Amino acid sequence: MPQLNKHGNYKRLLKIDEIKNRFNLNRKLHDFEVDELFKDIKHRKFTNIQYRYLEKGIRYQGIIDIETSDFNPYKNFIIGYVMVIRDLVTGKEVLYKDNIEKKDIAIAVKNDSFDFDKRLLLQLGKHLSKCDHLVGHYSSKFDIPYIRSRLLLTDQQESIPQYGQIRYGDTWRMMKNSIKAPRNTLKNLAIYTHTKDQKTHVDYEHWQRIWFKDSPLWNKSMKYIMDHCIYDVKMTVRALKKIETFNNIPMAMV
């Protein structure tokens, strides 16, 4: 006898290739189709939020933050990035990070350019290509456009995800639309979701020092900046897990 799905309708199970195709095209799946698609991968029973992502073709979600030498990407650079890639099937999370090195600056100076982040951007592009969904705090307004601009300015356009390849979300927008706070900052997001606030002070002296690779305090400043970036991403991950349960799954393509 045919089984009923959670909505009381009879299940009509597609062939596995059809399910895979719909998943890859971000076309809506049923929960029983998600179960069929991932039945051979070891995982715990899916939660409601896992089903909501997976039913929309999202398995790998990247949560990202970047640190930059200036707000204008022209003749400036990305100092470093941190990305947590979250597997919505297994629940596994992996943190990736990279920052410019002194040799990157030396190579750029030798070529009479400001492309200190060219190597870093190439690696970042590889991580972006792993993701079905990309989220950050104010990332739709800053991080993602900045990354695209730097990839264009360093002649690495092939590393920019094509239109429709990745769907985008922004905890800033989710916060703005669903909870009340004086300002929609990451610090306030941590406070108002009652998650751990690790926000560190932005001491611009550290950011400015990165231009000067021979400074005796260069390594100290780089560590401060990257620690700041790691804390921001971890705060974003914790808060996202709170607010995603009562927000729609953002599916923007730009």
Q: Where in the chain is the domain with CATH 3.30.420.10?
A: 60-246
Q: Are 235 and 190 in contact (CB under 8 A)?
A: yes
- The predicted structure's pLDDT at residue 11: 64
Can you name the residues that pair with 7 across neighbouring β-strands? none
Cα separation values, 67 from 117, 170, 185, 190, 223, Å: 11, 17, 16, 19, 12
- The predicted structure's pLDDT at residue 8: 56
- The predicted structure's pLDDT at residue 7: 52
Cα 69 to Cα 51: distance, rounded to the nearest angstrom: 39
Query: Mean pLDDT for the chain?
Result: 94
Give per-residue pLDDT as tens, 48-88.
999 999 999 999 999 999 999 999 999 899 999 999 999 99
- The predicted structure's pLDDT at residue 12: 72
- The predicted structure's pLDDT at residue 202: 86
Cα 232 to Cα 239: distance, rounded to the nearest angstrom: 11
Residue 10 has pLDDT above 90, yes or no: no
Query: The domain 60-246: what is its CATH number?
Result: 3.30.420.10
Residue 4 has pLDDT above 70, yes or no: no
Cα 24 to Cα 57: distance, rounded to the nearest angstrom: 6
- The predicted structure's pLDDT at residue 111: 92
Does the predicted TM-score (pTM) go above 0.85?
A: yes
Q: What percent of the chain has pLDDT over 90?
A: 90
Give per-residue pLDDT as tens, 154-207.
999 999 999 999 999 999 999 999 999 999 999 999 999 999 888 888 889 999
Q: What percent of the chain has pLDDT over 70?
A: 95
Residue 1 has pLDDT above 50, yes or no: no
Give per-residue pLDDT as tens, 24-38.
999 999 999 999 999
Give per-residue pLDDT as tens, 199-233.
888 889 999 999 999 999 999 999 999 999 999 99
